[in-house]
Amino acid sequence: MMRAVFGIDVSKASSEVAILVNGEKVHGYTMPNDAIGFSRLLDDLKTVHAPEIIFEATGVYSRRLQAFFEDNGYAYTRLNPLEAKKQLDSLRVRKTDKIDAEKLAQTQFVLNRKPTYVQEEVYQHLRDLSRFYQNLTEDIVRAKNRLHKVLQVTFPELESILSTPTGEQYWNLVMTFPCKDLVLELEQDVLEDMIRNSTSKRISDKRVAYLADKLVELANQSYCAVKRTSPIMEEVRYYAQELLTLSERRQAILDKMVSLAQSLPEYEILLSIPGIAEATATSIIGELGDIRRFQSANQINAFIGIDLRHYESGNFLAQEHITKRGNPYARKILFKCIHNIASASHNNPCHIADFYEKRKRQSQTASTKPHTIASIHRLIRTMYYLIRHNKLYDYNLAKSQ
């Protein structure tokens, strides 16, 4: 029986293709990663029955190739870069893209890798939106830091006008009053009107009067380091406007994520765990995808990189550390999730929070990282069980296990 394997080494603009039949190379070429290159590859795929396709995941560069195979109904095996390196290092003395493509195909005859599980499109959409949401969050943090820096020159006292220096009303106030002079030159009624218009939410006259008096008090305390005509005034307004825009866009992305995730049964299951809200639940689904595709909770540990690295030689036993070789986005989300669960446990008890506090008391180190990692594993096991069995979280039941 003829067995044809296509090994593909994907680069930024082009890919190396090696075609092996029954272990022997019959053809190889370089193709551009575009419609012309994919058309040539499709012609070759049609010449054989049930071709086996192997390529290494290279982030955004392999996405188009993956989409091409799915659009044309071909199963494929997408290798994790670390997995591919381990499998190929023992076979190659020299490393080139052509050699890598050929070795990927050769090893398939020995390893017989299974085709990659193709998830429903909604999971890919959630993953893309999750990355967009996280990028916007990073942009917001960066803009906040820059706004804080320039505001120290013009009107630092303004940061104490509200309980926290963030949100729509605060950023509108910063845009309106980047320096104290713009406050002190206004009449009381005009100042109150500007404060009232600084937010889309309705605020009472008492609250408006309080904020106006506080703003005048802060302005009288302030000393501006630059003149009113300084370009820094424009910079203050720019960052405040940027934060408003980024915040609105991030909320719109979250709304889209929630709308998509609501159709999935795991969404309600994740929300049933105390401490997990909409943003966290949708981000977890976006990064982990369809959890049912994993054979065990330990596979998810490896997927996000919290599996332990064990090293033992003779009488020496190294301290175990997590590998950090998996999905860093998922690891970050779950790390924050544990602390949210611990904070919410005062009103909504959770066995994961109980476990976290118990480990924290037992630990001899000041760092919370070891207890958090152990708690992430406990959370993963809980999510995996609930989703696989389609059950909502029950504290009394979980506590008794």
Q: 119-128, long-range: CB within 8 Å, 24+ apart, which pairs?
A: 119/289, 119/290, 119/293, 120/290, 122/260, 122/263, 122/264, 123/285, 123/286, 123/289, 123/290, 125/260, 126/257, 126/260, 126/261, 126/282, 126/285, 126/286, 127/286, 127/287, 127/289, 128/286
The answer on 244 and 281 residing in a single domain is no
Of the listed ranges 71-75, 339-343, 395-399, the one predicted with least confidence: 395-399
Which pLDDT belongs to residue 314?
Answer: 52
pLDDT bucket at 26, cuts 50 / 70 / 90: very high
The answer on 313 and 192 residing in a single domain is no
The answer on 247 and 269 residing in a single domain is no
Which pLDDT belongs to residue 401?
Answer: 67
Q: Give residue 275's region: left, alpha or beta (phi > 0; psi -120 to 50).
A: left
Which pLDDT belongs to residue 224?
Answer: 93
Which pLDDT belongs to residue 313?
Answer: 46
Q: What is the pLDDT of residues 159-169, one digit of tens each?
A: 999 999 999 99
The answer on 70 and 160 residing in a single domain is no
Across 108-135, average pLDDT:
93
The answer on 355 and 273 residing in a single domain is yes
The answer on 79 and 133 residing in a single domain is no
Amino acid sitting at position 220: N
The answer on 142 and 55 residing in a single domain is no
Q: Decide which of 259, 290, 316 is a domain's last residue.
A: 259
The answer on 162 and 103 residing in a single domain is no
Quick check: 204 and 105 in contact, CB under 8 A?
no
Domain membership flag for residue 329: yes
Query: Which has the higher per-residue pLDDT, 133 or 323?
Result: 133
Query: Which has the higher per-residue pLDDT, 57 or 316?
Result: 57
Residue 107's domain is classified under what CATH number?
Answer: 3.30.420.10
Q: Decide which of 111, 146, 174 is a domain's last residue.
A: 111
The answer on 10 and 98 residing in a single domain is yes
The answer on 174 and 134 residing in a single domain is yes
CA distance 198 to 209: 14
Domain membership flag for residue 117: no
The answer on 302 and 374 residing in a single domain is yes
Across 273-279, average pLDDT:
95
Contacts of 160 (CB under 8 A, 6+ apart): 218
Across 60-88, average pLDDT:
87
Residues spanned by the domain of 236? 123-259
Domain membership flag for residue 298: yes
Which pLDDT belongs to residue 321?
Answer: 63
Which pLDDT belongs to residue 137?
Answer: 95
The answer on 40 and 8 residing in a single domain is yes
Q: What is the pLDDT of residues 348-370, one digit of tens each?
A: 999 999 999 988 887 766 555 77
Quick check: 148 and 170 in contact, CB under 8 A?
no
Q: Rounded to the nearest 10 degrees, how much is the dihedral formed by the CA atoms of 159, 165, 169, 172?
A: 60
Domain membership flag for residue 32: yes
Would the pLDDT of 230 be above 70?
Answer: yes
Which pLDDT belongs to residue 311?
Answer: 44
Query: Which has the higher per-residue pLDDT, 309 or 234?
Result: 234
Across 2-29, average pLDDT:
94
Domain membership flag for residue 325: yes
Which pLDDT belongs to residue 85?
Answer: 72
Domain membership flag for residue 116: no
pLDDT bucket at 316, cuts 50 / 70 / 90: very low
Which pLDDT belongs to residue 360?
Answer: 83
Q: What is the pLDDT of residues 285-314, one digit of tens each?
A: 999 999 999 999 999 988 898 875 544 445
Which pLDDT belongs to residue 370?
Answer: 76
Across 207-220, average pLDDT:
96
Q: What is the percentage of the chain residues whose pLDDT exceeds 70? A: 92
Domain membership flag for residue 118: no
Residue 133's domain is classified under what CATH number?
Answer: 1.10.287.4070
Which pLDDT belongs to residue 46?
Answer: 95
Which pLDDT belongs to residue 317?
Answer: 38
Q: Decide which of 259, 275, 299 is a domain's last residue.
A: 259
Would the pLDDT of 215 be above 50?
Answer: yes
Would the pLDDT of 206 be above 90?
Answer: yes
Number of domains in the chain: 3
Contacts of 232 (CB under 8 A, 6+ apart): 150, 153, 154, 226
Which pLDDT belongs to residue 188?
Answer: 94
pLDDT bucket at 152, cuts 50 / 70 / 90: very high
Domain membership flag for residue 314: yes
Q: What is the mean pLDDT of the chain?
A: 90
Across 120-134, average pLDDT:
94
